[in-house]
Structure 1
Amino acid sequence: MGHEKRSVSIVFRALNEEKWFADALQACRDQDLSGSDIETEIILVDSGSTDGTLEIAERFGCRIVHIKKQDFTFGRSLNWGCEAATGEVLVFISAHCIPAHPRWLVNLTEPLLADKADYTYGKQVGHEVSRFSEKQIFAKYFTEHDKPDQGDFFVNNANSAIRTSVWERYRFCEKATGLEDMVLGKALKADGGRIAYIADAPVVHIHEETLKQTRRRYYREALTLREIMPEVQVTFRDFCRYFTAAVFHDWGEALKERCFASVAGEILLFRFNQFWGTYKGHNEHRTLSRTQKEAYYYPASHKRNEKAHRSLIGEAAETS
């Protein structure tokens, strides 16, 4: 007598993502689900694609949910996708992220199906087309070691999963300009919920943004970050310090990897736009301790950074 199937819904958000979407869907289809009793469905929430995104989705048998551009927010599009889903677990992955492990789906969802966690997120690594500094950011936040029940509310919906019952209780904020994952994560942790990081559930995250788009992304995220961490303030002096420190950190890594000449200028431009967007987004008169700011923005060794980052998010959660 077979085991009862456990249903998992994979939800993508997309707007003109034809370049990498087929690879992402194929990697989902090729997942090794042996011994897991998982059955899957794939849902695409499309916000008006005019390229081949919809044709790719149809070819792979996705259920398609349409959202108008004027109705789109990050949280609302996910909520619509979740409403259309039938799974007991909801998996979120960007359409320009490609699962990089044959057991990605099993590893990401196992803590949820076993009731060991309420919300999980997996590792992200860069692609060969990724900017050098973007890879350094991934290395900072997505380490090699699992965190089965982490103490903070950091989570990232480019590669994550949540129990449907948890999403139904909290839902994603539809007004957030970014970081809707951390908004829900903060509320979940405040109620004693469990967030787990799964290093062995990696995706290749491919950002091919212009520098202007990079600046806008960090600006949008800063607008939300100051709401979920109201003590955050990034001054112009902070901008100068973080930008300078990040550039020298990345230049040092580039020297180690013997690619300094080819990426030195790119590092300078990327980090400027990252921190200028962040500075512009943090435009309220609020204060943040030196330790908290260093944890979130200042490059450091991964071990030291993990400890400082836990302190940063944990302190914010305690004051919520």
Structure 2
Amino acid sequence: MEEARTELTGRNSAAISNPYLSIVIRARNEAEGLHRVFEALRAQRCDFAWETIVVDNESEDETPELCARYGARVIKISRDEFTYGRALNRGIAAACGELVLLLSAHSLPVGSRFLEAAVAPFADPQIGAARCLNAHDLEQMAAWYRARDISYRSLEEQREAEIGSEWTRLYPAATCCVLRRALWERIKFDEEIEANEDKLWASQILRHGFVVRCCAEAVYFYTRHRGRRAARMRDLREHLALYRLTGQPPLGRARFALRVIKAMFLAPLVSARYLCEQVSWNFALLSIPHKARRSPRSGSVPEFDARQAVR
């Protein structure tokens, strides 16, 4: 693994004690989100220099003017040639920093020490990338109460870990992560796949013996709210890209049939349960004036709720 790591970077991967950081943001008509992100970056307190690069996909709003106001460099990419991987490669190619923070226009850094915390793991020369913590992901919040590392002792161990799709949830996401530019110079992001270009890149550097750090101290809020349809379309793109990479279908015919049968049986039960819950809740609201005539009662919350439920 050590030989592979040295070969990949083309030099010994020295620890970065005073890093220069480039922040790369992909955007199309994201002026509102970018404004919040720029303000959060302006509030950062750190002892190293950093720059901001926005890869603009033919925005028609105030994105270009906003970038000029905050001193962000703009790299243009047309809609016809846009892919997520190509946009990342364009932005990183224009970057000057030894470290690169990939940031979404919907990812809002928390606190004035976010940048400092995000680059801190790279004092260890084995760290190839660091994933930041999404404050809205309760599962991550529970699992990352302290930093955790992803690494493999062998290629066989990595292949076993990357069976299925759960591993993609743990690997760094271009939504908010930091990487070494020296690694990107040797391994570019895939410009053809529809999604998961960031997961594929992380898998490749792990294969060369580097470590991915899940950084609990660098926290951000993801401010975008996707509707049900948009979320499903995103999931389909990710599953399609994952199938292209691994050849593993997300769903077989037998499981499909089982899910359809299960849905047919559960649909009436779900409908009946919803009806009962709505009638019960609205009746409880309707009875509030009647209950208010009784004198208030003391006691612990569970006991109070239990007495209220039987009335």
**Same fold per TM (> 0.5)?**
yes
Matching residue of 1:71: 81
How far is 1:7 from its partner?
Answer: 1.0
Aligned to 1:16: 29
Structure 2, unmatched stretches of 5+, are 1-15, 153-160, 162-166, 264-276, 279-311
Query: Which position in structure 2 is the counterpart of 1:52?
Result: 62
2:207 equivalent to 1:190: yes
Q: What letter corresponds to residue 181 of structure 2 in structure 1?
A: T
Q: Distance in 2 between matches of 1:63 and 1:100?
A: 23
One-letter identity of the residue aligned with 2:247: P
Instruction: Flag the 1:116–1:230 CA change in 2: closer, same or farther, 3 A.
Output: same
Q: Mean Cα displacement is larger for which, 148-157 or 74-83? A: 148-157
More RCO (CA 8 Å, sep 6+): 2
Structure with greater Cα Rg: 2
Deviation at 1:231, TM superposition (A): 3.1
Structure 1 position 219, deviation (Å): 0.8
Q: In structure 2, what is the Cα distance between the partners aligned to 1:64 and 1:145?
A: 36
Give the drift of 1:125: 2.4
8 Å Cα contact 1:92/1:161 also seen in 2? yes
Q: Which runs of 4+ in 1 moved over 6 A?
A: none
- For 1:100 and 1:238, how far apart are their aligned partners in 2? 41
TM-score normalised per structure 2: 0.68
Q: What is the CA RMSD across the aligned residues, in angstroms? A: 2.8
**Aligned match of 2:286:** none
Q: Name the SS of the counterpart of 1:91 in structure 2.
A: strand
Q: Give the secondary-structure state (helix, strand or coil) at the position aligned to 2:229.
A: helix
Query: Aligned to 1:173, which of 172, 176, 190?
Result: 190
The aligned counterpart of 1:145 is 146
Conserved in 2, the CA contact under 8 Å of 1:117 and 1:149? Answer: no
Between the aligned residues of both structures, percent identity stands at: 26
Q: CA deviation at 1:233?
A: 3.0
* Counterpart residue type for residue 32 of structure 2: K
Residues 113 and 41 of structure 1, relative CA distance in 2, 3 Å threshold: farther
Q: 1:270 is matched with which residue?
A: none
Identify the residue that residue 123 of structure 1 maps to in structure 2: 133
Q: How many residues align?
A: 233
Corresponding letter in the other structure for 1:86: C
Q: Which residue of 1 aligns with 2:177?
A: 160
**5+ residue gaps, structure 1:** 127-134, 245-259, 262-320
- Within the candidate set 91, 107, 111, 1:101 is matched to 111
Q: Name the aligned partner's letter for residue 213 of structure 2.
A: A
Code of the residue aligned with 1:97 in structure 2: it is S
